[in-house]
Amino acid sequence: TTTTNATGHQGLHWSSRWAFIMAATGSAVGLGNIWKFPYITGENGGGAFVLVYLACIAIVGLPILIAEVLLGRKGGKSPIASMRDLIREHNAKAGWVSIGTLGTVAAFLILSFYSVIGGWAVNYVGYTFSGDFVGQSSDAVGGIFGSMLADPSTLLFWHSIFMACVLFIVARGVKSGLEKAVTYLMPALFILMVIMVGYAMTTDGFTQGVNFLFNPDFSKLSSEGVLKALGHAFFTLSLGTGVMMAYGSYLDQDVSIAKTSITVGLMDTLVALVAGMAIFPIVFANGMEPSAGPGLIFVSLPMAFGSMSMGTLIGTLFFILLVFAALTSAISLLEPSVEWLEERSGFNRLTATLAAGGAVWFLGIATVLSLNVWSDVHPLGMFAVFEGKTIFDLLDYITANIMLPLAGLLAALYVGWVMKKEDVADELNMSQGALSLFWNVTRYVTPLAVIIVMYKSIMG
């Protein structure tokens, strides 16, 4: 139904709280949970990293998720336009609009490499379906992954296919259809992962895998690892990009922002932990390295699919569902740029989508080349923090560990220090106790945690 809310936002409102949860979960659950979480956990030593990551979700991620949805619903427009209105209403400094602009740029940069990895997943649907992994050794499975990375034209082809799907969905506005599909596809993906955990239990790496994930050894965690855990909390919950603000602008006034946000956060965390429990036992059972990097799931899971019964069917389904999960995140990543172009240049929806998507696709070529011909190009290598990083590494590092935390920090500061407590109370509509908990955490705990972690790891 088309409605106009108190702030005058024209458009479609979520028919129910559930529809918002599905769209927000569609954005949150993606490659971040199934591809990135396991491999950065592997690179950062396991349990201690997971514990810090969970603390970051609770202390930083959930409060900022609530803050961003609140700002979005109060503003009722695109993130940048909402911030402009709120700034006028609160008589605040114009600089706060950077919550919107910083996020829009970050989302644009993220999509450029997200699409390349999404392309790997599309390619793996074909590999699994053709039975390429059946009965193969881990060396052979690693070889298949390695040859894919070494070949720019293969990577470019699948990156282009993935971006074409994103553009088709965003331009045609079939998002509502996709969001309905999420209602079935997300649970299906979850069930398949639980089946994978079941398989993992039958391998002799299960105890070692679960220990690796949940038995913290703090000597393995560096201060840079802590920053990565924080950055991943933002990335995995789609924070600091304006995406959750944009979705919040469609949320009805009578829906509880806190309960809804916590549901989304819990589902996202659950998917990441189940992914870890499926992957690490397989890694250890096959004598692979947990610190193998971005290829971790593209080598360990195919090993499992190649040796379990019905592995070809289960594996093909798994990668199809992974592609859907990646697509629902990718469309949310393109949306801020498209909206900005529409507002700024007066382009219609189709032109804005093609322009923003074309630019993202073009930038994606840098990530494609980082994996092969430019693998020795380290543009910011003169700075210690960026030493040895390819363009792909830099895009990932700078967005997740710097831009998202900064934009999220600003959102928390805006809600906690610019808005009045009564305004926030009106929006959140919670019990006194819950409200003062949220208020104190958002004003003090969350900003301090972000500032300390960023300062410690960047300043050394």
Structure tokens at 235: 């990335």
**Residue nearer to ligand PFF on the CB measure, 30 or 76:** 30
The Cα–Cα gap between 129 and 72 comes to 42
Count the site residues for Na ion by CB under 5 A. 5
Minimum CB distance to ligand PFF, residue 145 (Å): 20
60-73 burial string, b = 16+ CB within 10 Å, else e? bbbbbbbbbbbbbb
Among residues 19, 24, 31, 121, which is the contact residue for ligand PFF, using CB under 6 A? 31
Q: Does residue 387 contact residue 381 with C-beta atoms inside 8 Å?
A: yes
**Residue nearer to ligand PFF on the CB measure, 19 or 430:** 19
Instruction: Report which of 104, 180, 4, 161 is spatially closest to residue 332, judged by C-alpha positions.
Output: 104
Minimum CB distance to Na ion, residue 243 (Å): 11
333 near ligand PFF, judged by CB under 6 A: yes
Helix 311-345 × helix 17-28 angle, to 10°: 100
Among residues 14, 113, 133, 235, which is the contact residue for ligand PFF, using CB under 6 A? 235
Minimum CB distance to Na ion, residue 430 (Å): 25
Structure tokens at 231: 């950055």
332 near ligand PFF, judged by CB under 6 A: yes
**Residue nearer to ligand PFF on the CB measure, 261 or 312:** 261
- Tell which positions 7-46 bind Na ion, by CB under 5 A: 28, 32-33
329 binds, among Na ion, ligand PFF, none (CB under 5 to 8 A by kind): ligand PFF
- Tell which positions 64-123 bind ligand PFF, by CB under 6 A: 107, 110
Q: Which residue is nearest to ligand PFF (CB)?
A: 32
241 binds, among ligand PFF, Na ion, none (CB under 5 to 8 A by kind): ligand PFF
Q: Integer distance in angstroms from the first to the last C-alpha of the chain?
A: 53
372-381 burial string, b = 16+ CB within 10 Å, else e? eebeeebeee
Q: Which stretch binds ligand PFF (CB under 6 A): 24-32, 38-46, 193-201, 294-302?
A: 24-32
Compute and round to an integer the Cα radius of gyration of the chain: 21
The Cα–Cα gap between 34 and 28 comes to 11
Bridge partners for 10 per DSSP: 4
269 near ligand PFF, judged by CB under 6 A: no
Q: Which stretch binds Na ion (CB under 5 A): 41-49, 266-274, 386-394, 436-444?
A: 266-274
233 near Na ion, judged by CB under 5 A: no
User: Burial level of 234, CB count in 10 A (0-12/13-18/19+)?
Assistant: buried
Q: Does residue 15 contact residue 2 with C-beta atoms inside 8 Å?
A: no
Task: Name the phi and psi angles at 99, rounded to 5.
Answer: -55, -40
Structure tokens at 85: 């209105």
Q: 3-class DSSP state for residue 240?
A: coil
Q: Which stretch binds Na ion (CB under 5 A): 75-83, 121-129, 262-270, 378-386?
A: 262-270
28 near ligand PFF, judged by CB under 6 A: yes
The Cα–Cα gap between 159 and 423 comes to 44
Among residues 329, 337, 401, 457, which is the contact residue for ligand PFF, using CB under 6 A? 329
Q: Which stretch binds Na ion (CB under 5 A): 91-99, 233-241, 308-316, 433-441?
A: 233-241
**Residue nearer to ligand PFF on the CB measure, 32 or 306:** 32
276 near Na ion, judged by CB under 5 A: no
Structure tokens at 21: 């949860």
Q: 3-class DSSP state for residue 12?
A: strand
Minimum CB distance to ligand PFF, residue 251 (Å): 17
Minimum CB distance to ligand PFF, residue 170 (Å): 13
Residues that bind ligand PFF (CB under 6 A): 27-28, 30-33, 107, 110, 235-236, 238, 241, 243, 329, 332-333
